[in-house]
Amino acid sequence: MLVKLIREGLGRLIAGISVLTQGKPMARTEEQQADVNVACENLSLYQFQSCPFCVKVRRQIHKLNLPIELRDAKNNEQFRNELADVGGRIKAPCLRIEQEGKSQWMYESNDINAYLQQRFG
């Protein structure tokens, strides 16, 4: 119980510092940003608010100026069940990529950040 409280407290501290220290998002023309916005409609990030690996991915999303839906899999039972039942496991962060009627579930923060950088960077 004490370890859980310490981990949660440190996670919140990391998340707070991250928000305070994040830089400006990538600038694009209106047309380019509109294309990115459409592409991001098929992406959603299942995440825990105070998870350091989720913070890492959220920083990348902010840096690349991506309007990706954030789904709180810790406090929202529907999102948690989707992550477990459809994605295969409850692990965050997880990027859900919808393409041609199929879902791809990407679980590792480094993989997610590399994918986002390659696709939108």
Whether 34 is in a domain gets the answer no
Task: Give the C-alpha separation, 21 to 92, whole Å.
Answer: 22
Q: Which pair of structure tokens corresponds to residue 31?
A: 């047309």
Please report, for the domain that includes residue 107, its CATH number: 3.40.30.10
Q: What's the whole-number average pLDDT of the chain?
A: 90
Coil, strand, or helix at residue 45?
strand
If you write DSSP's letter for every residue of 59-115 in order, what string do you get? HHHHHTT--PEEEETTT-HHHHHHHHHTTSS--SSEEEEEETTEEEEE--HHHHHHH
| CB 71 within 8 Å of CB 81 | no
Span 69-89, average pLDDT: 93
Whether 32 is in a domain gets the answer no
More confident residue, 76 or 19: 76
Each residue of 38-68: pLDDT tens digit?
999 999 999 998 899 999 999 999 999 999 9
| Domain count of the fold of the chain | 1
Number of Cβ atoms within 10 Å of the Cβ of 26: 15
Q: Could you tell me the residue range of the domain that residue 109 belongs to? A: 2-20+41-120
Q: Give CA separation, 77 vs 82, 93, 98, in Å.
A: 9, 16, 21
Whether 29 is in a domain gets the answer no
Q: What pLDDT was estimated at residue 13?
A: 72
Q: What pLDDT was estimated at residue 14?
A: 67
Strand order in the sheet with 102-106: 69-72, 43-47, 94-99, 102-106
Q: What pLDDT was estimated at residue 41?
A: 96
Each residue of 16-37: pLDDT tens digit?
776 677 788 888 999 999 999 9
Whether 27 is in a domain gets the answer no
